[in-house]
Each structure stands twice: as C-alpha cells, then as structure tokens.
Structure 1
Amino acid sequence: MKLFSFPAAALEKAIHKRVLSLPPPHREWFAERWQQKPYKKAFIEHKAMPLVTLVAKGKTWDDATFAEALQEWDATFYEAETEVLSPLVQGDGLLQLMQKNLPAERATQLLEKLQQRRAAAGPDAPGASND
C-alpha cells in the first residue's frame, strides 16, 4: 500500500497522548512495548501509518480501491493496540480534519478490521483468556 505522507512524529505524539488515557491493563501492556524502539517503529510503519493512509485516502478512493487497500493491509492487532488506534478512525484529536469527510461505512469497515484482527492476536494480549 502506498503510504500517505503524514508526519510520523505527529502520529507518535497522538499515540502517546492516547496511551495516557487508556484503561490500566491496556495502558501497562502498550506502554511497556511502546518504550521498545523496534516495536514502536514497527507499530508506526505497519499499523498506525497504514490506518492514517486509509482514513485520509478513503474519502476520495472509489469502493474497489478502498476495498483492495483494506485487504492488502495485513496486520494483527492486540486488544490494547485496537484501543489506541480506534480513536484515530472515530475523529479524536490529531486526525479530525482528515476524518471529517470519511464516509461512515468506510469508518465502520476500518473499525471492524481492527476488531476482526484482535481475535487472532494471541493469548498474551490483555483481556485475552489464558485458560
């Protein structure tokens, strides 16, 4: 997927701000990983930036292009990651202007993508059953 030219530093700042408002189990889980440079870099490149691209370009792409880009975005999300990224789709903070004209059905598809991937994320995610 061709990435949207969005400043990574601004995205990192928005993520950091969101982490501060996460509920405790998600905050600890995500903050611990966020401090690790390889995780932070991979999270920005493979999860957050593609989401920003889909939000920004999703307003003008036709249905086929949007569906193809969504399909190409092959990332697995832990529950805490979904909690961090969901507000970026829902109109919170940094991306409000980009989200303004995003069709509601596309926003719903993005949120479903985050939720759908969460179930496949594995047993060490917060909130996952370790039975």
Structure 2
Amino acid sequence: MALLEYDRDLEIYGYDIDGRVAKIAMNNAIEAGVDDCIHFQKRPVSELSSRKKYGYIICNPPYGERLSEKREVERLYKEMGRVFTKLDTWSYYVITSHEGFQESFGRKADKNRKLYNGRIKCYYYQYFGPRPPRRSE
C-alpha cells in the first residue's frame, strides 16, 4: 500500500497577521513545489472560519518569551480557544513554549508532548476532534 496518495485533493490554508510572513511562506511553498495546494492569506486568528465539517489546524503561534509579550500572547491564546472551539469537529495541534498555554486557551489538551524547537523547550498540545465518517470507494 502506498503511503502517498497523489490523486487526492489537498487544500491547505496558511494564515498570518503579518503579510510579509505569508509572502515568505508562499515563496517557500513555490520553492518546494507545493504552491498549487497551499493558499496563503494575511488574516488574524479572529477571522478563521470554514464551511468544511472536518479539518485540522496546525499552528506555531508566538511564544511570548519576552516579559512584555507574555500578556499579549496570552490574549492571543484565549482568542484561539474561542475561535477553534467554533470548529468543534476539527482537530487542532499547537506548538508553544508557553507553559500556561492550556489555561489561556481554555481547555486541557487531549495529549501533550514535550519537544525542543532549537534550544527552546516547547510543548506540542494535541486536541482531537471526532473522526470523519469513512468515505465509501
């Protein structure tokens, strides 16, 4: 059985509040040859929505390593919790070094793994939505 299914439709959306970051990501996708299935937009997390019943959110939001940024990222994490909860049949995965993420997000992760991003100790918070029904083929 092949692990890759090249004939399946794949839609990936990349959002960032900073348009420069979205442009850099698009250039990287072009370089990797995957720009035909990834769509980038400058958009805040508060505008995240989808008509799709099932999906995945994978993100690496700011960590708030500097003291002056801590409250700002905690507000962002709280907003993420409000927005992601609206997509109640989706799964979401978050990588951050902020140890209080779950409290700000408003929900304990189903799974939490410790890992390192460079030399920064991070946590990989996993929130599992229900499995989509099997497609009949």
The alignment's TM-score, normalised by the length of structure 1, stands at 0.34
The alignment's TM-score, normalised by the length of structure 2, stands at 0.33
Q: 1 or 2 for the larger relative contact order (CA 8 Å, sep ≥6)?
A: 1
Structure number with the higher strand fraction is: 2
